[in-house]
Amino acid sequence: MAYIFKETELPSLIDAKSARERIFFVNKELTSIDDMLAGVMHYKKDAASPLHLHKDCEHFYFIINGKATVESDDGVQPVGPGDMIFIPAEAKHRLHALEPLFYFEFQAPNRFKTVILEGTDDDLRWNRKDGKVWIQS
């Protein structure tokens, strides 16, 4: 079986600050698998993820449009279209949009816990456009 998803037909998740939007193409709800999590993210200018890490999960970002910085233990580095960022499991990271940002993200496996290092529990809260709430584990 093949799955074909159209971005405009999928549920959209908006962060508690209305600055980041995520659309999953592969997750437990859509494909009934937890081997991976994949989708696209839209950040408004100056939006940022909290400094965080994922236990037991590798993480990739592929920047499609816009410029940002990635913060890790190696410091802050600029990224832009065509850049692939790899975040090893348990590595601290934060993404900050310098302008509107669009990227593809992939996480594996999708059996992980996110630990916020700077921020609040609201940084893990995502609201569905249809009014349902999805809380990242």
Task: Provide the CATH number for the domain around residue 99.
Answer: 2.60.120.10
The pLDDT value recorded for residue 26 is 79
Pick from 105, 113, 108, 115: nearest CA to 13: 105
Q: Note whether 28 and 110 are within 8 A (CB).
A: yes
The percent of residues in the chain predicted with pLDDT above 70, rounded, is 94
Identify whether 73 is part of a domain: yes
Q: Note whether 95 and 108 are within 8 A (CB).
A: no
Identify whether 128 is part of a domain: no
Query: How many folded domains does the chain comprise?
Result: 1
Identify whether 59 is part of a domain: yes
Pick from 70, 12, 21, 78: nearest CA to 44: 21
Residue 55's CB is within 10 A of a number of other CB atoms, namely: 11
For 56-114, write each residue's pLDDT tens digit. Answer: 899 999 999 999 999 999 999 999 999 999 999 999 999 999 999 999 999 998 778 88
Q: 116-134 burial, b for 16+ CB within 10 Å, e for fewer?
A: beeeeeebbbbeeeeeeee
Identify whether 94 is part of a domain: yes
Euclidean distance between CA atoms 30 and 39, whole angstroms: 11
Identify whether 132 is part of a domain: no
Euclidean distance between CA atoms 125 and 119, whole angstroms: 12
Euclidean distance between CA atoms 70 and 82, whole angstroms: 14
Identify whether 1 is part of a domain: no
Identify whether 7 is part of a domain: no
Domain that holds residue 35: 12-123
Identify whether 4 is part of a domain: no
33 or 3: which leads in pLDDT = 33
